[in-house]
């Protein structure tokens, strides 16, 4: 307890709106990478609704991004489960549909080679689950490997290895691009 | 790997769509503790904020809207989200007021940012000093039942959380000069001129 009259700087919790603005884009990238573009909106929305519910109890000095990615991780698992319950057999494997659905949005984005984006998104979708999540949480979520390990289970070394293997596979794909 | 981030472009439209969806889901789940919107008026852009109980804050641009949202997070609830629809009625009444077509507001108010004697003062002001009228700080002190608490009345008016709607602009100094106002002296004079027209 602080001595009377001695003011300690109290961290102030930002309005939730500021959290959405600051971290919304990163969480959407995580969601798109982990569950694909079709279910990403659902995963994002479930994540931020759960975060809003719990926000008053979050310590003011908590790492908000790590907290959000942890929630996003759980919600992504829920969304994927729900999608697989809904799923009907389809002619086209999900990974291909995943890439096709991004066609329009990447084409609009000037300055980025749309083909490169689509290749990368397809390559991310084709990664083994643990590698894909490690890449997403570290590179999009901004989590250090110790935090990635907390989310995924296992050690920080294993998380670093999974992300490195994922990136190596992506580089291979990009290098093989004509 | 910036190429990787670039492969997942996030547009303003994406964020606007998701933010609207979040606000709607938050309302359905009773988690919209503080809804706010910005609203353009002849006095500049006002920030309007409401709890489920009613209008809780009106803020002028000079107060710094980010600082006001932080104050709402600190004092009311950190569950603060933009939700323009929740403030449609207030915005409409303000438009009518500024165009001279409305003399009083009938949206519900949440007084929680004003306590004790300050709240008593503001409630008397809202109920008893009508459109086009003015009162001195001393007269309002008498209305509030504490004729000698003139300075406290000044503080109550200067910290009114719901200016314009709770008409502290109608409280002026005994010498006729306007006195302190949250939106600045020019805003106070403009409101007095509007109501005198």
- Condensed to tens digits (0 to 9), the pLDDT of residues A121-136 reads 999 999 999 999 999 9
Specify the pTM.
0.85
The Cα of B143 is separated from the nearest Cα of chain A by a number of Å equal to 37
Whether A5 is in a domain gets the answer no
Which of B98, B130, B157 terminates a domain? The answer is: B98
Q: What CATH number does the domain containing B70 carry?
A: 3.30.160
Same domain assignment for residues B66 and B25: yes
- Confirm whether A10 is domain-assigned: no
In B, residues 107-126, which contact A (CB 8 Å cutoff)?
none
pLDDT at B116: 92
Given a contact cutoff of 8 angstroms between Cβ atoms, the answer to whether A112 and A140 are in contact is: no
Three-class DSSP category at A118: helix
- Whether residues B12 and B72 share a domain: the answer is yes
Q: Return d(Cα A36, Cα B166) in angstroms, integer.
A: 50
Residue with tokens 């001195």: B136
- Whether residue B32 contacts residue B81, with contact meaning beta carbons closer than 8 Å, is answered with yes
For range A85-99, the mean pLDDT: 52
ipTM of predicted assembly, 2 dp: 0.90
Last residue in a domain, options B98, B130, B164: B98
Q: Do A49 and B79 touch (CB under 8 A)?
A: no
The 10s digit of each residue's pLDDT in B64-83 is 999 999 999 999 999 999 99
- Kindly provide the residue ranges of all beta strands, DSSP E only, lying in B12-138, ordered along the sequence: 34-41, 44-51, 54-59, 80-82, 135-136
Is A114 among the domain residues? yes
d(CA B184, CA A29): 44
Q: Any CB–CB contact under 8 A between B189 and chain A?
A: no
d(CA A120, CA A112): 12
CATH of the domain at B153: 1.10.10.10
Query: Is the same domain home to B28 and B93?
Result: yes
Q: Does residue B110 sit within a domain?
A: no
Structural domain contains residue A138: yes
Residue A54 contacts B, CB cutoff 8 Å: no
Q: Which residues of A touch B11 (CB under 8 A)?
A: 105
A23: closest CA of chain B, how far (Å): 11
Query: If you count residue pairs, one on A and one on B, with CB atoms under 8 Å apart, how many are there?
Result: 107
Residue A2 placed within a domain: no
Please enumerate in sequence order all residues whose Cβ is within 8 A of that of A9, keeping only pairs 6 or more positions apart, or say none. none
Q: Is A37 helix (H, G, I), strand (E, B) or coil?
A: helix
Strand partners, B80: B34
For residue A165, how far is the Cα from the chain centroid?
18
Q: Chain centroid to CA A36: how far?
A: 10
A49 CA: distance to closest CA in chain B (Å): 7
Q: Is residue B138 part of a domain?
A: yes
Domain boundary among B67, B98, B129: B98
- Read off the pLDDT of each residue in A158-176 and give the average, rounded to a whole number: 89
Categorise residue B130: left if φ over 0, alpha if ψ from -120 to 50, beta otherwise: beta
Which residue of B14, B29, B82 is in closest CB contact with A17?
A: B82
Average of per-residue pLDDT across A161-177: 85
Residue among B91, B168, B171, B187 flagged as catalytic: B168
> B125 and B177 in one domain?
yes
Q: Which residue of B has its CA nearest to A52?
A: B79
Interface test with A, best of B1, B3, B6, B7 (most A CBs within 10 A): B7
Decide if A16 touches B, using CB distance below 8 A: yes
Do residues A105 and A135 lie in contact, with contact meaning Cβ atoms separated by under 8 Å? no
> In terms of residue numbers, what domain contains B25?
2-98
B168 catalytic per annotation? yes
Q: Is the pLDDT of residue A1 over 60?
A: no
Rg, Å, chain B Cα set: 19
Nearest beta carbon to residue A55 from set B11, B19, B79: B79
Separation of alpha carbons B76 and B73, rounded Å: 6
The CA-atom distances, in angstroms, between B114 and each of A13, A44, B56, B159 are 22, 37, 9, 8
Whole-angstrom Cα distance, residue A139 to residue B110? 44
Query: Greatest CA span in chain B, whole angstroms?
Result: 70
How does DSSP classify residue A91?
A: S
Which tokens in the block code for residue B26? 């938050």
CA distance B40 to A108: 32
User: Pick from B1, B21, B79: which is nearest to A16 by CB?
Assistant: B79
Q: What is the rounded average pLDDT of the residues B2-18?
A: 91
A117: pLDDT confidence band, cut at 50, 70 and 90? low
Q: Could you tell me if B29 lies within 8 Å of chain A, comparing CB atoms?
A: yes
Q: Which residues is B39 bridged to in the sheet?
A: B46
On whether both B160 and B85 belong to a single domain, the answer is no
- Per the structure, how many domains does chain A have? 1
Question: Is there a domain that residue A41 lies in?
Answer: yes
Q: Is residue B107 part of a domain?
A: no
CB burial string B12-45: b at 16+ within 10 A, e below: eebbeebbebbbebbbeeebbbbbbbebebebee
Please tell me which of the candidates A24, A52, A105 has its beta carbon nearest to residue B15: A24
Q: Is B164 a member of any domain?
A: yes
Rg (CA), chain A: 19
Range of the domain at A125: 16-54+63-83+92-176
Distance CA(B56)–CA(A141), nearest Å, equals: 35
Does the structure show a pLDDT above 90 at A112? no
Residue with token string 């009259």: A5
Ramachandran angles phi, psi of A155, nearest 5°: -95, 165
Are residues B10 and B92 located together in one domain of the fold? yes
Same domain as B73, residue B16: yes
Number of independent structural domains in chain B:
2
Rounded to 5 degrees, φ, ψ at B56 are: -110, -20
Q: Decide if B104 is inside a domain.
A: no
Kindly report the CA angle at A87 between A85 and A88, in degrees rounded to 5?
Answer: 130
Do residues B120 and B69 both lie within one domain? no
Sole residue written with tokens 């190429």: B3
Assigned domain for B108 exists: no
Mutate one of B3, B6, B8, B25 to test the A interface: name it (highest A CB count within 10 A): B8
Q: What band does A77 get if pLDDT is binned at 50, 70 and 90?
A: confident
Q: What percent of chain A is modeled with pLDDT above 90?
A: 59
Name the token pair of B80.
């603060």
């Amino acid at each position: 307890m602080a001595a009377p009259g001695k003011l300690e700087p109290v961290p102030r919790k930002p309005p939730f709106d500021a959290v959405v603005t600051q971290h919304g884009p990163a969480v959407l990238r995580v969601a798109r990478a982990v569950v694909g573009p079709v279910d990403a909106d659902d995963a994002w929305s479930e994540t931020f609704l759960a975060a809003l519910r719990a926000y008053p109890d979050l310590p003011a000095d908590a790492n908000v991004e790590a907290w959000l990615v942890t929630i996003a991780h759980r919600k992504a698992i829920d969304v994927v489960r729900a999608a697989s319950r809904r799923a009907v057999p389809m002619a086209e494997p999900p990974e291909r549909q995943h890439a096709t659905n991004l066609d329009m949005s990447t084409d609009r984005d000037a300055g980025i080679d749309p083909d490169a984006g689509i290749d990368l998104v397809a390559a991310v979708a084709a990664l083994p689950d643990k590698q894909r999540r490690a890449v997403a949480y570290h590179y999009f979520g901004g989590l250090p490997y110790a935090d990635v390990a907390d989310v995924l289970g296992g050690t920080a070394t294993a998380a670093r290895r999974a992300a490195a293997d994922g990136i190596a596979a992506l580089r291979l794909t990009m290098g093989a691009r004509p | 790997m910036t190429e990787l981030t670039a492969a997942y472009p996030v547009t303003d439209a994406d964020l606007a769509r998701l933010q609207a969806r979040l606000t709607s889901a938050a309302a359905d789940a009773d988690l919209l503790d503080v809804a706010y919107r910005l609203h353009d008026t002849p006095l500049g852009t006002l920030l309007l904020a409401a709890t489920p109980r009613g209008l809780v804050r009106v803020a002028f641009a000079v107060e710094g809207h980010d600082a006001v949202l932080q104050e709402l997070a600190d004092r009311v609830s950190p569950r603060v989200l933009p939700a323009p629809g929740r403030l449609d009625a207030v915005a409409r009444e303000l438009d009518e007021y500024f165009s001279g077509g409305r003399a009083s507001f009938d949206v519900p108010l949440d007084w929680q940012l004003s306590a004790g004697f300050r709240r008593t003062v503001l409630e008397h002001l809202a109920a008893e000093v009508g459109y086009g009228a003015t009162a001195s700080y001393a007269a309002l002190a008498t209305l509030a039942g504490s004729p000698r608490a003139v300075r406290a009345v000044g503080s109550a008016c200067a910290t009114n959380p719901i200016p314009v709607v709770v008409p502290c602009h109608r409280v002026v100094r005994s010498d006729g000069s306007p006195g302190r106002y949250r939106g600045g002296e020019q805003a106070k004079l403009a409101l007095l001129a509007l109501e005198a027209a």
